[in-house]
Amino acid sequence: MEKREKKTVDNGMIFGLRPIQEALKAGKTFDKLFVQKDLTGDLLKELITELKDNRVIFTKVPFEKLNRLTRKNHQGVVGFISPIEFASIDNIIDRCFATGKNPLILVLDRITDVRNFGAIVRTAECAGVDAVVVPAYGAAQISSDAMKTSAGGLNYVPICRAFNLPQALLTIQQSGINLVACTEKTDKTIYQAELKDPLAIIMGSEEDGISKEILEMANQKAKIPINGRIASLNVSTSAGVIIYEALRQRS
């Protein structure tokens, strides 16, 4: 029984109540953690307390969801160890201004496709983006697939996880950084937008773009011109286009 609990798989998955507790004690960072709904027991209560004390994000899900992740004896809890350590956006901003750097930050609002995420991080690293901000919930898993697609970019670009993305954006804004939403819901193109100043570029989800709340927070909205018959670009391509337009303006 004990041996079965300690098994993990290549994608960073770990499961079982004791193995999750041991990972916490070892200081491991969880990218995703799923706990079965309506699960009871003293050991689970102990684990939940430890998760909350360590500010570890977890999501309660049906038993069927966990069984889709693994058919092994998960005991109602499955986690994925992050291959990276998350950074603080406040520290990144402070460091940029302290060293006289003009900040360029990328914010991903609910980008869920792992390969899109990895490709975006690869572009961000090549362009010298200072940080990528992602929400704690509703974001792509930072897995071995993401690491591979980023061509190692995840080893170099600071990834900042926001428990409350609108609040994180407000903090960024109050630091003197303009929020620019890349969206088709405007007449202004990225070539007309002002991208020279301290900047946080916001990219929206593959399905419905930038959420309304976040779109309303933006200092500017800018679109990528589309002249062909297909209505939109892939989000990873769009991110590359606007990032390099910002670099062009700054040079």
Query: What is the Cα–Cα distance from 228 to 105, expressed in whole angstroms?
Result: 29
Q: What is the pLDDT of residue 219?
A: 97
Q: What is the pLDDT of residue 7?
A: 39
What's the whole-number average pLDDT of the chain? Answer: 91
Q: What is the pLDDT of residue 9?
A: 41
pLDDT tens digit sequence for 3-54: 333 334 446 899 999 999 998 888 888 888 999 998 888 888 888 898 888 8
Query: What is the Cα–Cα distance from 99 to 126, expressed in whole angstroms?
Result: 20
Query: What is the Cα–Cα distance from 122 to 128, expressed in whole angstroms?
Result: 10
Query: What is the Cα–Cα distance from 184 to 224, expressed in whole angstroms?
Result: 7
Per-residue pLDDT, averaged over 79-93, amounts to: 93
**C-alpha closest to that of 230 among 221, 238, 239, 222:** 238
Q: How far apart are the first and last CA of the chain?
A: 61
**C-alpha closest to that of 46 among 72, 25, 29:** 25
CA distances from 170 to 66, 90, 134, 216, 219 (A): 35, 12, 14, 12, 11
Written as six digits, the tokens of 30 are 């969880």
What's the gap between Cα 131 and its chain centre?
A: 11
> In the chain, what are the domains?
2-81 (3.30.1330.30), 89-250 (3.40.1280.10)
Instruction: Average the pLDDT over each of 74-78, 97-101, 122-126 and give the range with the smallest value.
Output: 74-78
pLDDT above 70 as % of the chain:
96
Please state whether beta strands 13-15 and 77-81 pair in parallel, antiparallel, or not at all (unpaired).
Answer: antiparallel
Written as six digits, the tokens of 51 are 């998760």
Residue with tokens 């990895």: 118
Q: What stretches of 70-210 show up as alpha helix (H) in DSSP?
A: 89-98, 114-127, 144-149, 165-174
Q: What stretches of 128-198 show up as alpha helix (H) in DSSP?
A: 144-149, 165-174
Q: What is the pLDDT of residue 2?
A: 36
Q: Phi/psi at 161 (nearest 5 deg)?
A: -100, 125
pLDDT tens digit sequence for 46-63: 888 988 888 888 999 999
State the virtual CA torsion across 34, 35, 37, 39 in degrees, nearest 10.
Answer: 160
Which residues, in sequence order, are CB contacts of 75 under 8 Å at separation 6+?
Answer: 5, 15, 16, 17
Q: What is the pLDDT of residue 11?
A: 62
